Amino acid sequence: MSSERSARPQGNLDHAEKVSLGAGVFRRCDGCGDTQLSESFAYGVCPRCGHHERLSAEQWMQLLLDPGSFEPEGEALAPTDPLRFSDGRPYPERVASARRSSGATEAIRVGAATLAGRPIMFGAFVFRFMGGSMGSVVGERLTRLFERAASARRPAVVLSASGGARMQEGIFSLMQMARTVAALGRLREVSMPFVSVLLDPTTGGVAASYALLGDVNLAEPRALIGFAGPRVIEQTIGQKLPEGFQRSEFLLEHGMIDQIAERREMRATIARVLALLLDD
CATH number, domain at 260?
3.90.226.10
Q: Which residues of the chain have pLDDT under 50?
A: 1-21
Please write the tens of the pLDDT for every residue from 137-192: 999 999 999 999 999 999 999 999 999 999 999 999 999 999 999 999 999 999 99
Give the pLDDT score at 187: 98
User: How many domains does one find in the chain?
Assistant: 2
- The pLDDT of residue 133 is 97
Together in a domain, 34 and 103? no
Integer-rounded Cα radius of gyration of the chain: 22
pLDDT at 32: 85
238: exposed, middle or buried (Cβ count in 10 Å: 0-12, 13-18, 19+): exposed
> How open is the CA angle 191-194-200, to the nearest 5 degrees?
170
Say if residue 258 is in the same domain as residue 197: yes
- Name the DSSP letter for residue 127: T
pLDDT of residue 20: 45
Task: Write out the residue range of the structural domain in which residue 29 sits.
Answer: 20-53
What's the CA gap between 95 and 135, in Å, rounded? Answer: 11
Sign, CA torsion 161/164/166/171: positive
| 259-260 and 216-219 beta bridge pairing | parallel
Do 77 and 48 fall within a single domain? Answer: no
**3, part of any domain:** no
Instruction: For residues 65 and 156, state if they share a domain.
Output: yes
CB neighbours of residue 255 within 10 Å: 7
Helix, strand or coil, per DSSP, at residue 193: coil
What pLDDT sits at residue 23? 53
The burial class, CB within 10 Å (0-12 / 13-18 / 19+), for 98 is buried
The answer to whether 165 and 173 are in contact (CB under 8 A) is yes
Q: Which pLDDT does position 8 carry in this prediction?
A: 43
Residue 148: which H helix or E strand, with range?
A: helix 136-152
Convert the pLDDT of each residue in 88-115 to its tens digit: 999 999 999 999 999 999 999 999 999 9
Residue after which a domain boundary falls, among 8, 34, 53: 53
DSSP 54-93: ---HHHHHHHHSPTT--EEE-TT-----TT--BSSSBHHH
